[in-house]
């Protein structure tokens, strides 16, 4: 149990001035499985570790000053033939939600539209596919998915697919490289202006993607193994490789992947990226609603100022916080996705 000190007036001011982008949130999962109305304010999950879901909704996201969200699109790896239709269903569901809620949400595809939405008091929405198994080995659906808001594709989730192998899970490997189809996929993603997400990807394949890169590479949600040995973390070689592409690494909030200690621990992971490759490559990827365990001071979106306080405690400036919270991601979105 983490017992945070209330954020200071300085921390709250720094926090409110930030344009905060969450690179990975699974609200579409709780909507799909439990009919979660994320326009309604829900009480935080009372289970130990805020297990599974219940970490955010639009009212709490606004209270936490989250300005943009990449909604994760997750498909069943055991039903790959239906993957493209499942992707389209999620994209359409989010579009319908945005259309029903123009006073709170906006679909956005580039940095300028995200800034405009934030200035209007809206939460900017875009999507990221978690695992290329959802494409069922096809590339021809990607232009349509991009037009519907898809801005990054994670090459793997927890299962191997036609493109690559995960760092952990079924078929996991940290020495396997991309398949020929995987190489074709990343080339097509870059051609279309869709970012490549190397979260969950085995180390050798991450390094291969970065060497091949024509655009910034992102890792949407992970931790740093230099601080905590987790099978879902990345080492300093990977941090440097992603930084060499001018990409970003989003720090996850899941306790088993970053270690105990809550906001202070998440801040130390961000600080490690800053000290290793520079603050320019720091980002947030909360993995809220991700069916995992979360610290008590970061288990609900309105508690996000606790992280700001923790970063200030480490000596971060307001500009550095703002870079990690969103400015870096906006740079990568424009460099990798264009309009």
Considering only residues 183 and 78, tell me which one the structure prediction assigns the higher pLDDT.
183
CA angle 120, 123, 125 (to 5 degrees): 125
Residue 3 in domain: no
Q: Are 10 and 312 in contact (CB under 8 A)?
A: yes
Closest alpha carbon to 134 in 171, 159, 104, 107: 159
Residue 48 in domain: yes
Q: Is the pLDDT score of 176 beyond 60?
A: yes
DSSP states of 37-49: -TTS--PPP-SGG
Mean of pLDDT over the chain: 94
Q: Are 55 and 294 in contact (CB under 8 A)?
A: yes
Cα 321 from chain centroid (whole Å): 17
Q: Are 38 and 27 in contact (CB under 8 A)?
A: yes
pLDDT at 34: 85
pLDDT at 224: 98
pLDDT at 71: 97
Residue 2 in domain: no
pLDDT tens digits for range 51-84: 989 999 999 999 999 999 999 999 888 787 788 9
Residue 1 in domain: no
Q: Is the pLDDT score of 208 beyond 80?
A: yes
Residue 331 in domain: yes
Range of the domain at 52: 9-337
Percent of the chain with pLDDT over 70: 98
Closest alpha carbon to 148 in 205, 94, 215: 94
pLDDT at 36: 85
pTM of the model: 0.96
Rg, C-alpha atoms of the chain: 18
pLDDT tens digits for range 97-126: 999 999 999 999 999 999 999 999 999 999
CATH of the domain at 306: 3.20.20.140
Dihedrals phi, psi of 106, to nearest 5 degrees: -150, 135
C-alpha–C-alpha distance, residues 216 and 152, integer Å: 11
DSSP letter at 297 equals T
Residue 4 in domain: no
The confidence band for 3, taking pLDDT boundaries of 50, 70 and 90, is low
Matching residue, tokens 């709170």: 104
Cβ burial 292-315 (10 Å sphere, 16+ → b, else e): bbbbbbbbbbbbbbbbbbbbbeee
pLDDT at 10: 97
Residue 169 in domain: yes
**335 three-state secondary structure:** helix
Domain count across the chain: 1
Alpha carbon dihedral 6, 296, 157, 194, in 10-degree steps, equals -20
CA angle 64, 53, 264 (to 5 degrees): 50
pLDDT at 21: 98
Q: Report the chain's terminal Cα–Cα distance, integer Å.
A: 44
Q: Is the pLDDT score of 141 beyond 70?
A: yes
Q: Is the pLDDT score of 315 beyond 60?
A: yes
C-alpha–C-alpha distance, residues 244 and 98, integer Å: 36
Q: Are 240 and 276 in contact (CB under 8 A)?
A: yes
Percent of the chain with pLDDT over 90: 86
C-alpha–C-alpha distance, residues 256 and 295, integer Å: 10
C-alpha–C-alpha distance, residues 15 and 174, integer Å: 37
pLDDT at 209: 97
């Amino acid at each position: 149990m983490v017992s945070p000190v209330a954020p200071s007036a300085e921390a709250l001011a720094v926090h409110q001035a930030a344009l905060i982008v969450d690179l990975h949130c699974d609200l579409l999962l709780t909507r799909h499985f439990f009919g979660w109305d994320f326009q309604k304010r829900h009480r935080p999950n009372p289970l130990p570790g805020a297990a599974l879901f219940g970490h955010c909704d639009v009212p709490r996201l606004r209270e936490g000053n989250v300005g943009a969200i990449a909604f994760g699109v997750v498909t069943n790896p055991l039903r790959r033939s239906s993957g493209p239709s499942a992707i389209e269903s999620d994209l359409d569901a989010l579009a319908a939600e945005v259309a029903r809620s123009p006073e709170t949400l906006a679909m956005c595809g580039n940095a300028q539209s995200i800034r405009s939405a934030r200035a209007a008091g809206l939460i900017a929405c875009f999507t990221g596919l978690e695992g290329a198994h959802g494409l069922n080995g096809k590339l021809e659906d990607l232009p349509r998915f991009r037009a519907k808001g898809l801005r990054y594709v994670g090459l793997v989730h927890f299962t191997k697919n036609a493109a690559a192998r995960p760092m952990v899970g079924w078929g996991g490997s940290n020495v396997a490289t991309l398949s020929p189809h995987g190489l074709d996929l990343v080339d097509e993603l870059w051609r279309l202006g869709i970012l490549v997400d190397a979260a969950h990807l085995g180390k050798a394949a991450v390094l291969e993607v970065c060497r091949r890169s024509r655009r910034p590479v992102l890792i949407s949600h992970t931790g740093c193994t230099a601080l905590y040995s987790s099978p879902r973390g990345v080492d300093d070689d990977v941090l440097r490789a992603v930084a060499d592409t001018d990409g970003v690494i989003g720090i996850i909030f899941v306790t088993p992947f970053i270690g105990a200690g809550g906001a202070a621990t998440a801040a130390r992971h961000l600080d490690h990226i800053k000290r290793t490759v520079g603050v320019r490559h720091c980002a947030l990827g909360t993995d809220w609603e991700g069916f995992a365990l979360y610290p008590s001071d970061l288990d609900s979106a309105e508690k996000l100022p606790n992280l700001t306080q923790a970063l200030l405690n480490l000596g971060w400036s307001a500009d550095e916080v703002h870079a990690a919270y969103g400015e870096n991601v906006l740079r990568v979105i424009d460099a990798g996705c264009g309009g």
